[in-house]
Structure 1
């Protein structure tokens, strides 16, 4: 196992080789993960041999982390097979709608709440029973959906980042973004982060986030020179190269820059965060392997697994029992006690009332 210890083998490959040597799945997993499994550990005790769980997953580094680090222990201990449905939220949403809630293409649907709220209201997801997802008891109420029909398992709040070597007058408010002209980055209206920005500005201007037109007017007047980015990765590149110096961004992406040594600071605006890129975890109502789905979400919410995601991608863990090192903690600026500063928007209203379409139309005409 020296190759596993020094990083030359992934956990999946280490477990596979141990199984070829004749070890049982539980023993192989215990060796590959470097310690006996204590009571209350991440892996469920049920045997789901022969069952397959279909889970939505983004591609790229997310997919690879799922394959190398997240899935192997779960598969080895349960006997189940996890199949990743690689894609994008909008496509998963469309496939769910087309298939209907009784015949879903996925057993586990994980993505941003903006794409899930309408499906939840239409009955596409089932409540998470506490006796089958016991790690829910460690998740703050602010991250649990009503009646536990879903849980926000990973949290990436939207705040402001800036280059400390280039900005002499740091931002303290969302309104300060208007001071930096072409050196400011905001999202394009097609990114789910920008409607959250609009609603936050509306809330700050009038107290009513559903009265969004004054917010569009303010953004058109004060951020007309700002660089609009399609997703956070574009902003990371631009901020790294100095093309932009200030921008709204999610905390995990700020942390990625900080971890690479870029001189960037994180700002909690005085009005609070404008929202988040969260990962909302759900079991589909029509799944034929619901118990396996509950076990998978319980596994994802466990402290050891949540810690792995925090250490790799700097997500704020949902499990309040997670203990992370000081080195990692400095890259996760949003702690459980700050969750109240993250607004929870009404996505049923945004996506179902015509507000989003009208917001997009106004944005395209004015910006």
Structure 2
């Protein structure tokens, strides 16, 4: 074999080696790009929300800025508390369908007892320190972040002597003019325990409370606060149990309506924010709750929905104080309940209510 043949063979070998090296380099670069892309892909945070105005508010006022700050995607699980509980039970505490559960305390307390939630670390949720003590759950296992105080609403054009206490509802002049919630609404459940507390000093005397409520007959019943608003707006009732934000909205719509914080205290619709035990993105879940507790976000909730700020650093301006009558030190007037006991008695209480008040 001549030297020319050797040179040609060497050239072919070198060309083949160069081609192989180029291919391997491209594959390696592709893997690095894939890995970099995976690292930069936004993580997903799943949080519960009601539909309607709540969903719209989250999507327009909260989610965009949160996603930008934390480089993540927020997925809203829109629905109702009973459906969320059913799905969580089906999945189990270690594999929950949600990372953050926002719901009423009557449901949250039940889910907490079943081991679905974990406490909120103060270093991960620093705004906890500025939440009113009444709104911090035991061991910070969840926090009440959205507050709607419940008192007595009345038509100012039809009620000349407005009630000032819960016991005033039993005045003869209000007979047949009253609206109450059914026992299926948490406000109805709380009203029974409230009557027990007002008349006996102990929220657990349900039978006494039911006997007192029977004296209020006849009264209209509804299982939804929106329907209570309709009953008042349409003049079917003159007095109803209603939250102050709802009354503020009706007043701004032109309805002649007033609201009273009874002398014995008020109760509340509340939204309890909780992180699920099995969440794989707990850092984002803690950040979501902390974000919603920030003063600037709490103020957004206040101005949009007339809710009482949970963060004590948020001041209610003078022009909003008639719409948000419970704030600051007045939060002490909110009565809280033994939800563990209420959930244990729920079935029995529901049966008793239905027997006496559902025909």
Do both proteins adopt the same fold according to a TM-score greater than 0.5, normalized to the shorter chain? yes
Contact 2:316/2:327 (8 A) holds in 1: no
Change (3 A) 1:136 1:49: farther
Q: Structure 1 regions of 5+ residues with no counterpart?
A: 1-46
Is 1:94 aligned with 2:86? yes
Q: Report what 2:20 is aligned to.
A: none
Q: Structure 2 regions of 5+ residues with no counterpart?
A: 1-38
Alignment of 1:67-82 (within 5 A): 67-82=59-74
User: Which residue, 289, 292, 308 being the options, matches 2:300?
Assistant: 308
Q: TM-score, normalised by structure 1?
A: 0.84
Q: Report what 2:19 is aligned to.
A: none
Q: In 2, Cα distance between the equivalents of 1:211 and 1:97?
A: 31
- TM-fit CA distance, 1:338: 1.9
Q: Deviations over 1:170-213 (max 9, x none)?
A: 11121222332332111011111011000010011111111111
- TM-fit CA distance, 1:219: 0.6
Q: Report what 2:8 is aligned to.
A: none
Q: In 1, Cα distance between the equivalents of 2:40 and 2:238?
A: 51
Is 1:231 aligned with 2:231? no
Q: Report what 2:181 is aligned to.
A: 187
Q: Report what 1:109 is aligned to.
A: 101
Number of matched residues? 317
Alignment of 1:1-367 (within 5 A): 50-179=42-171, 180-222=174-216, 224-273=217-266, 275-352=267-344, 355-367=345-357
Q: Report what 1:25 is aligned to.
A: none
More helix by share: 2
Contact 2:179/2:220 (8 A) holds in 1: yes
Contact 2:316/2:324 (8 A) holds in 1: no
Q: Report what 2:28 is aligned to.
A: none
> What SS is found at the alignment partner of 1:340?
helix
Aligned-residue CA RMSD (Å):
1.5
- TM-fit CA distance, 1:48: 8.6
Q: In 2, Cα distance between the equivalents of 1:361 and 1:333?
A: 35
Q: In 2, Cα distance between the equivalents of 1:299 and 1:366?
A: 45
Q: In 2, Cα distance between the equivalents of 1:106 and 1:300?
A: 17
Q: TM-score, normalised by structure 2?
A: 0.85
Q: Report what 2:26 is aligned to.
A: none
Q: Deviations over 1:320-345 (max 9, x none)?
A: 11134322232101112122221221
